[in-house]
Structure 1
């Protein structure tokens, strides 16, 4: 009889463990389902905030060509640069208009077919472009099959950003250079500038 009792326990224990495991399993699935839903809710929140970020108004090209750099918002600055590069004979692809650009706002293609990724940063004079922006541009240029990269800002780069740009051969135009290039182009004629 003791032999049968031992044999019965060998059967009862695995069955009991299976039942307990089965009871606990749906609880795990519910937790996983809730975990899956949380990122979806977060994504929908991010998606709902994107239109306000990308819906900055962009005045007409004629108006943009009469505004000083400090009177432009980011979208308008990108548009001004697109007009400038087209005026210089480049083919221009506006890939990141108004944010959510992944590090590249414009892809400009010269007559030889060389592609350059351009990141535009319309900042106030006291806000400098951080090193992270340079790193994003370096990584993003590969996604657009670009050989060269150019960072254009209305202000300047931080010292670490300049060092990173030199290291990865990222050309950059700060506020003074871009203003000089736009004036030499001739189509950009700001009526009133707050800068001297």
Structure 2
């Protein structure tokens, strides 16, 4: 699982580790003083309780930001959305984007090419993230976007789902776009149903180059 965080933010797990380290350091310090000075049981009890109280107080000042899962089923990646506008989106590395941010980037790409895209996305999208029309012939296209790590191949089930979503949205063509690659079975099925597929290389070549040029114009 991959988690994107800000420079001054830590996850809950890291916070727990930091608090544990602080607790044991304080506990060692206070117990050492009790043993060396041969103090009574009241001081021993205080030595056990004081580190816990101090650690809890210190923990209040350790910032935490929860990871928000914006990816679709099977993506195996969790992200925190931090991009607030399209300029930041164009500037960001594609591999750092969340699922919804990647969908937005693909939407902007095709919109710039005149495809009149419409973002669908979300739960119950029937495997379709974008529906758009080809400006050259008016053909309606169902698009699925997967911002996955390159080692997570798109499987046959994902291709089948998009093919079914095509019918639901009344589209004639389909396009599957991923930042990873496809399994042999997925490629076979995509070819059988005439589905266009873009892998990591296609995305970098087409969307990556467009993104850089677009950002330069806006800068």
TM-score normalised per structure 2: 0.58
- Could you say which residue in structure 2 is the equivalent of 1:115? 140
Higher relative contact order (CA 8 A, sep 6+): 1
**Contact 1:182–1:188, Cα closer than 8 Å, also in 2:** no
What secondary structure sits across from 1:91 in the alignment?
coil
How far off its partner does 1:113 sit? 1.9
- The answer to whether structure 1 residue 80 and structure 2 residue 114 are counterparts is no
Match of 1:124 among 149, 157, 160: 149
1:103-182 residue pairs with structure 2 within 5 A? Answer: 103-111=127-135, 112-182=137-207
TM-aligned CA deviation for residue 110 of structure 1: 1.8
Secondary structure at the counterpart of residue 182 of structure 1:
helix
- 1:99 deviates by 4.6
String of CA shifts for 1:83-133, please: whole Å, max 9, x gaps.
00001111011011x454220000111223211000001100110011100
Say what the alpha-carbon RMSD is for the aligned residues.
Answer: 1.9
CA distance in 2 between counterparts of 1:101 and 1:86 reads 20
Instruction: Return 5+ residue gaps in structure 1 as ranges.
Output: 1-51, 190-196
Mapped partners of 2:170, 2:99: distance in 1 = 24
Q: Deviation per CA, 1:123-180, whole angstroms, max 9, x where unpaired?
A: 0011001110000000110111110000000011111101110111110000111111
Aligned length: 137
Deviation at 1:57, TM superposition (A): 3.0
Matches of 1:169 and 1:99, distance apart in 2: 26
Relative to structure 1, is the Cα distance of residues 150 and 91 closer, same or farther in structure 2, using a 3 angstrom cutoff?
Answer: same
Bigger helix share:
1
Inter-CA distance 67–150: structure 2 relative to 1 (3 Å threshold): same
**Larger-Rg structure:** 1
Secondary structure of the 2:142 match is: strand
